[in-house]
């Protein structure tokens, strides 16, 4: 368990933390409310500190831990830092229509030929969709959604 110098309850004016009888440097992490103009940049050092701190906090916080518990609050804050950094530096793009159809075919255990028969188009047309050479019409997209269990929002890239 880590404790601050002089057992004070805030980190604002402290630069060291005592953890298992060792002095550990505290890397300040500034979390600001984001706006479209002024977005606080999280540094790689802050990100790595937050990751390490999360690993320390996870054993201390469980589903039964009260939301106002100091460790639970810190875990939430550190998690927010990691999420914000990863959204900026490791974005996950939405799948294209071609990738969506291909992944859904695999999940449903269907072949392109079976899908073609199911929705009433030629197998070569399905191959055009999967390869990205063509985009389905709205009518075909609706059928693809129904047969492959794809939500319309996913198909439209929303």
Q: Two tokens at 133?
A: 């050479």
Q: How many CB atoms lie within 10 A of CB 66?
A: 9
The string of pLDDT tens digits covering residues 32-70 is: 555 443 346 899 999 999 999 999 999 999 999 999 999
What is the CATH T-level fold of the domain 97-155, as seen in this structure?
434 Repressor (Amino-terminal Domain) (1.10.260)
In this structure, are residues 144 and 119 in contact, taking their beta carbons and an 8 Å threshold? yes
Q: % helix / strand / coil in the chain, to the nearest 5?
A: 55, 5, 40
The boundaries of every CATH 1.10.260.40 domain in the chain are 97-155
The string of pLDDT tens digits covering residues 71-126 is: 999 999 999 999 999 999 998 888 899 999 999 999 999 999 999 999 999 999 99
- Parallel, antiparallel, or unpaired: how do β-strands 16-19 and 2-4 relate? antiparallel
In sequence order, the 6+-apart residues with CB closer than 8 A to the CB of 64 are: none
In sequence order, the 6+-apart residues with CB closer than 8 A to the CB of 63 are: none
Question: How far lies 156's CA from each of 77, 103, 145, in Å?
Answer: 34, 16, 10
- Answer yes or no: pTM beyond 0.95: no
């Amino acid at each position: 368990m880590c404790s601050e110098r002089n057992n004070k309850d805030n980190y604002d004016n402290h630069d060291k933390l005592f953890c298992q009888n060792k002095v550990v440097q505290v890397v300040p992490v500034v979390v600001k409310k984001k706006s479209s103009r002024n977005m606080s940049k999280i540094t790689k050092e802050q990100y790595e500190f937050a990751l390490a701190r999360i690993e320390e906090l996870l054993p201390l916080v469980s589903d039964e831990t009260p939301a106002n518990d100091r460790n639970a609050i810190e875990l939430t804050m550190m998690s927010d830092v990691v999420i914000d950094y990863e959204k900026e530096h490791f974005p996950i793009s939405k799948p294209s229509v071609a990738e969506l159809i291909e992944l859904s075919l695999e999940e449903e255990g269907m072949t392109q030929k079976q899908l073609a028969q199911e929705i009433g188009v030629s197998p070569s047309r399905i191959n055009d969709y999967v390869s990205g050479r063509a985009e389905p019409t709205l009518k075909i997209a609706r059928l693809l959604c129904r047969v492959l269990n794809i939500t319309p929002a996913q198909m439209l890239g929303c």
